[in-house]
Amino acid sequence: MNKTVLVLPLATAVTLSGCSQQPVKPSTTAFANKAPALYVKLRDPDPPHPAKPKKKHRSAHHHRDLWHRLFALYRLPQVNHPRVREELKWYAANPEYLERIQQRARPHLYTIVEEIERHGLPGELALLPVIESAFEPHARSPKQAVGLWQFIPSTGEQYGLKQNQWVDLRQDVHASTRAAIRYLKKLYADFGDWLLALAAYNAGEGRVMQEIVKNRILYRPTDFWHLDLPEETKAYVPKLLAVAQVFKHAEQFGIALHPLPNRPLYARVDVGAQIDLALAARLADMALEEVQRLNPGFRRRVTAPDGPHRLVLPLEKVELFEERLAQLPKSRWTNFNPYPQQARARYVAFPMSSQALSESQARQSTKTLSSANGSNRSLGQVQTQPQVKIHVVRSGETLWAVARRYGMEVRKLMRLNGLRSNTGLRVGQRLRVIARGSDPLRTARWGSLADG
């Protein structure tokens, strides 16, 4: 693969050396009277790491709060630019937005900070999902970019994010975070400047390089602030710089920063075979919707036949899940029916806690049916008609957020309203929803895991 290499006159090269991480001060005369750069084709070497990863030492986990650990990793320049100031004002005026961001980021931020620190990247990059997706794993752009890091299909495939009828790893937080870090490191290796790398992440390498070449020809500066990039990209980098500072200096901006423990809250469990997510939820004493929320990469209610079979579960649920899973043969991992319509021959019952029961979409008053030997089994079989309501879309709401609010699956909400996967919502749009708790298919306090 060939790569365009920039060759500068010696004086210019000395002037620019080592300044990519310094505060940018826009200047219209910075490159006056400098000879234009030459471009030559060379073989593309292995891209260097932006910073040699440091071995973990005590300071990595010295901070009790994850936010403080993240702030200690900040390395991007603090730029006093009008666009940054404009974004700072917006964030300060919209504290409810940052409140939602913190709630969405809570399950994922530790994982992201761990990877960012392990690869030696600036800590601010851990907040890039704020700009890309508002920390919404199900976010989808009109250009079919998906997930926290908003990979389009082709780039996702290029970085190993499998997409098929079973999974979309662009929505898998662990997989997409690793892919995003690889991509960002590649961009930094190409441009040698983090602001240009971020611009390329948004607008594409080709567009950024095109504007750099154009400015060179016109004897203009080639830092981010002087490139003629799309308006979205011009706002993209300032947004990241601003939100990083707002979180770091939350008190000054009147933002309530909620503490986050600097330790894992969730664990990945590799079960090694295909498993029904509803069964996994029952074994872990969780609501199905919570398991799906923590595992957004699965497109169906069952893991893919050929994997991955890794489930993200709350740390305190892992032992219980593994203990119960060991009691079931693998033949029963994928034929679990959480809504049995009739009594079956044998059952394995696990009591749900009152908390999990209250969070579950399938709350109900249960019917008790008598089995052949006269004992009673609570099967959760209720024949009622679902109650359809109208939801009026508010600013910032997504299909996933509406579906979650009413305990529905996104696909069911889309079918009910005749929507396509790439349909955007409009403020004031009226959506038909099924009222939480009115679905006739319900689970019981004692869930029956019937034999296949």
DSSP-derived 3-state class of residue 379: coil
At position 112, the amino acid (one-letter code) is: I
> Where in the sequence numbering do the catalytic residues fall?
132
DSSP-derived 3-state class of residue 104: helix
DSSP-derived 3-state class of residue 82: helix
DSSP-derived 3-state class of residue 128: helix
Of 206, 282, 227, residue with least CA distance to 443: 282
Question: How buried is 376 (Cβ within 10 angstroms: 0-12 exposed, 13-18 middle, 19+ buried)?
Answer: exposed
How does DSSP assign 100-158, residue by residue?
HHHHHHTTTHHHHHHHHHHTT--GGGGGHHHHHHTT-TT-B-TT--BTTTTB-HHHHHH
Phi, psi for 401 (deg, rounded to 5): -65, -40
Question: How buried is 416 (Cβ within 10 angstroms: 0-12 exposed, 13-18 middle, 19+ buried)?
Answer: middle
- Six-digit token pair at 281? 């939820």
At position 35, the amino acid (one-letter code) is: A
Q: How many CB atoms lie within 10 A of CB 264?
A: 11
Measure the CA–CA gap between 448 and 347, rounded to whole angstroms: 6
Beta strands 368-370 and 347-351: pairing type? unpaired
Measured between alpha carbons, how far is residue 200 from residues 14, 193, 195, 441 in Å?
Answer: 25, 11, 9, 48
CB contact at 8 A, 240 and 79 = no
